[in-house]
Amino acid sequence: MDRKGDDDIWLIKFYAPWCSLCKQLDPVWHQIGSELRSLGSPVQVGKSDATVCTGLAKEFRVRSYPAILMLKKNVKYNYSGPRTKEGILDFANRVGGPLVRSLSSLQLFHHAMGRHDVMFVYVGATSQLKENFTSAAEELIVHTFFFSASRDALPKAVSLSSFPAVLVFKDGTYFTYNEGHDGDLRTWISRERFPNFFHIDSYSLYMMGETDKLVLLALMEEKLQSEASVRFKSLVETVARDHREAYGRSFYFGFMEDSAYINGLVMGEVSVPSFIVVNLSTDSYFLPPVAVETEQQLLDFLDGVLDGSVESRGGNDVLQRIRRFVYDAKTALMVCPCPLSSDLSSISVPLMSVLHLVVQPVFIHAPVFGCFLVGFPVVLVSVFFVLCCKTRPSSAEDDFATATVALSTPSLQRRKKLTEKKSN
């Protein structure tokens, strides 16, 4: 990667030659570069081998591979979304453009609404609220889009009681920011940047942990969804739509078709379909104490979570962290294609923690190298024991030595008798 002027905008991928995910991303990365060039984007695309350019990787605090970030006016923006062409392009277009984009007409407003599920809009002239809005955009542009518009550029259905104002458009409607009710503007934007109800994956669920809100999930099968799964999903959607005022400040709502992330959270297999409330800020979760079949029963479950009558499970205390380290390490070794994993079931907790932190990422990104990493020390230890065994006398040599001593004993006794006779 060639670094040019401070005004240049770079989209950079840091990789390692042994990383399998980095190799899988290579063709996508070339497509991203070609598409941005064809669109005339100011974003330049590059990549850097972190094992060679160690100083550059250290400067940008690269800790995992592939790491994707954007440099814009000496500001670094990390991308932590899915490694897909669409996700990375959306990130590049969002961060590479203006922090706050202007909507000068109703036509442009409808065009933006058609492209974005969630968008924040400032309406009004220059003010302290606008400065706060721009400041929030500098930090949160990696997650969502920010716009400014005049009152004439908004649909007539949008009603504003005062100016200036900040609005969020999502779920086919809009909500107005109220400092007295909603608190800090940046915190409010961070909370509202997700749709009210949507399909939640492990990445978005992880990102929700930054907002301190709880998440109500309907867990469903990935394929061939049952009638019960569809009913559970419908119940959550109904509560999200009809009871937003009562629960929207405390909960996100959605459904999840891949329960692997939840299995890791609860350290076991969750039943599907089912309901669960998760708190990503504390790694805790809540399960309904009784079967939930109706909307009222689901509301009672949410009330119990809020008032503390429903037991909180999990957490991030020391004991839970140790248990999670052990669970993650065992899970990583169980899926390892290397046959040595079956010999590591009795490893102590501290070593399992090291395996969780070191070996698991290697197995994920480079399974062959991971097996070598575990197998090579085992081979060395085996060779050492073999050499030690060879230096010890064999059982045949022991028998020969014993026989020699036994045969020599009578002759020694006869010599002793002759010596006594001579002395007499």
Indicate which residues carry an active-site annotation: 19, 22
Q: Cβ distance 288 to 275 under 8 Å?
A: yes
Q: Which long-range contacts does 371-377 make (Cβ < 8 Å, 24+ apart)?
A: 371/336, 371/337, 371/338, 371/340, 374/336, 374/338, 374/340, 374/341, 374/344, 375/338, 375/340
Cross-sheet strand order for the sheet of 165-170: 101-103, 145-149, 119-123, 165-170, 173-176
Chain-centroid distance, C-alpha 122? 32
Q: Using CA atoms, how far apart are residues 94 and 41, in angstroms rounded to an integer?
A: 11
DSSP SS3 for 78: strand
Residue type, 71: L
Give the DSSP letter string of 86-116: HHHHHHHHHHHS-SSEEE-SHHHHHHHHHH-
DSSP 158-202: ---SSSSEEEEEETTEEEE--HHHH--HHHHHHHHTS-SEEE--H
Parallel, antiparallel or unpaired: strands 197-199 and 251-256: parallel
Tell me, what amino acid is at 267? M
CA distance 199 to 195: 9
Rg over alpha carbons for the chain, rounded to the nearest Å, is 33
Neighbours of 139 (CB within 10 A): 13
Separation of alpha carbons 355 and 361, rounded Å: 9
* Percent helix, strand and coil across the chain, each to the nearest 5: 50, 15, 30
What's the rounded Cα separation, in Å, for the pair 179 and 168? 14
Q: In which order are the strands placed within the sheet that holds 9-15?
A: 43-49, 9-15, 67-72, 75-79
Q: Which residues pair with 9 in a beta bridge?
A: 43, 72
Q: How far is CA 403 from the centre of its chain?
A: 70
Residues 266, 269, 273, 275, Cα dihedral to 10°: -10
Provide the phi-psi class of 214: left if phi over 0, else alpha when psi is between -120 and 50, else beta: beta
